[in-house]
């Protein structure tokens, strides 16, 4: 279990940092300056050197990765049920990644932050509904099979 | 024939050695019965010491506070192995994993249900109620041959 958590932390950091750089690549294209933009100017302004800003960006995006890697463990707590798993997962991850993304990239308007939050929430609602329906269908099939097996044993 | 047991705390897995001057039918039968007992039984701890239980009698095996428990219709025992080791050792035709922390005897599954909040319940023989993780439901279905 401890080894599993260490692997999650390490893997989460790497995946988070790599995805962060991919996002940065598209952000750079969007800003469309002559040379590559390693960090957005608003974020750069918080630091004295560009290297410090880039390193902080890597660490912060890595942190998002770690959060998601560890939060996935909520889905292993069978006793909670899917609703609680999804709600806890949503808030724990949102608490970490929304502030980080806002600091790193977003133009700082409330409307933008809200749309970010809403699209994130929407994804969860859709996924939850799908997973619930799939589970329900699977369980109905399993029960039908169990009843059949029970009849077979009785005979 | 003399039977001897030597207790060695450093010994990880029990090993049976037969000392003999020649191979006989008796020895061969003995080897077969020891080997078959190994496949179908599991050694567990109870308050009376080490016991051997038949795998077919096991209802479920679950982890709780880092300990692995084996539940039968008769009682609850403590396993000597970790859950993943048991998964490797036990017959996959008989046992199915229902969550990270639990495997159950598929012949003991009576009924499954899902609550409004998405808690997936598994009802086992003897009125034992437990829970499955969503990601194992599909695997259970496959293992039951649906």
Ranges of each domain in chain A: 2-108, 110-155
Flag if A128 and B110 touch (Cβ within 8 Å): no
* Res A10: pLDDT: 97
CATH number at residue B46: 2.40.50.1020
CB contact under 8 A, B101 and A76: yes
A131 to chain B: closest CA residue: B134
Asked if the C-beta of B68 comes within 8 angstroms of chain A's C-beta atoms, the answer is: no
**B68 occurs within a structural domain:** yes
Query: CB of A123 within 8 A of CB of A80?
Result: no
Q: What is the pLDDT of residues B69-117, one digit of tens each?
A: 999 999 999 998 899 888 888 877 889 999 999 999 999 999 999 999 9
Question: CA torsion B133→B134→B137→B139, rounded to 10°?
Answer: -90
Residue B3 lies in a domain: no
Domain extent at residue B57: 25-143
Q: Give the best residue of B84, B117, B138, B144 to mutate against chain A (max A CB count within 10 A).
A: B117
pTM over 0.95: no
pLDDT tens-digit readout, A101-137: 989 987 768 888 888 889 999 999 999 999 999 999 9
Residues across chain A: 155
Contact status of B112 with chain A (Cβ, < 8 Å): yes
ipTM computed for the complex: 0.74
B42: closest CA among B59, B29, B64, B58? B58
């Amino acid at each position: 279990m401890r080894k599993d958590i260490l692997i999650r932390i390490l893997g989460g950091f790497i995946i988070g940092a790599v995805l962060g750089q991919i996002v940065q690549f598209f952000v750079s294209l969007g800003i469309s300056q002559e040379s590559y933009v390693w960090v957005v100017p608003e974020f750069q302004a918080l630091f004295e050197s560009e290297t410090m800003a880039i390193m902080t960006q890597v660490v912060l995006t890595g942190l998002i990765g770690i959060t998601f890697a560890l939060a996935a463990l909520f889905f292993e707590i069978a006793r909670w049920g899917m609703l609680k798993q999804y709600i806890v997962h949503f808030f724990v991850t949102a608490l970490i990644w929304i502030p980080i993304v806002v600091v790193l990239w977003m133009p700082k308007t409330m409307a933008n932050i809200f749309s970010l939050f809403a699209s994130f929430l929407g994804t969860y609602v859709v996924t939850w509904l799908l997973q619930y329906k799939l589970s329900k269908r699977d369980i109905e099939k399993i029960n039908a099979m169990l009843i059949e097996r029970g009849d077979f044993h009785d005979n | 024939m003399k039977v001897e047991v030597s207790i060695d705390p450093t010994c990880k897995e029990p090993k049976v050695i037969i000392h003999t001057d020649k191979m006989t039918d008796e020895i061969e039968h003995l080897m077969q019965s020891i080997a078959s007992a190994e496949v179908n039984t599991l050694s567990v701890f109870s308050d009376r010491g080490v016991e051997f239980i038949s795998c077919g009698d096991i209802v479920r095996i679950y982890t709780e506070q880092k300990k692995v428990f084996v539940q039968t219709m008769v009682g609850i025992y403590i396993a000597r192995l970790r859950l993943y080791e048991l998964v490797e050792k036990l017959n996959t035709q008989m046992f199915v994993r229902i969550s990270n922390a639990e495997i159950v005897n598929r012949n003991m599954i009576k009924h499954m249900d899902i609550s409004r909040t998405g808690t997936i319940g598994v009802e086992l023989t003897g009125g034992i109620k437990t829970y499955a993780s969503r990601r194992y439901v599909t695997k259970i279905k496959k293992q039951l041959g649906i």
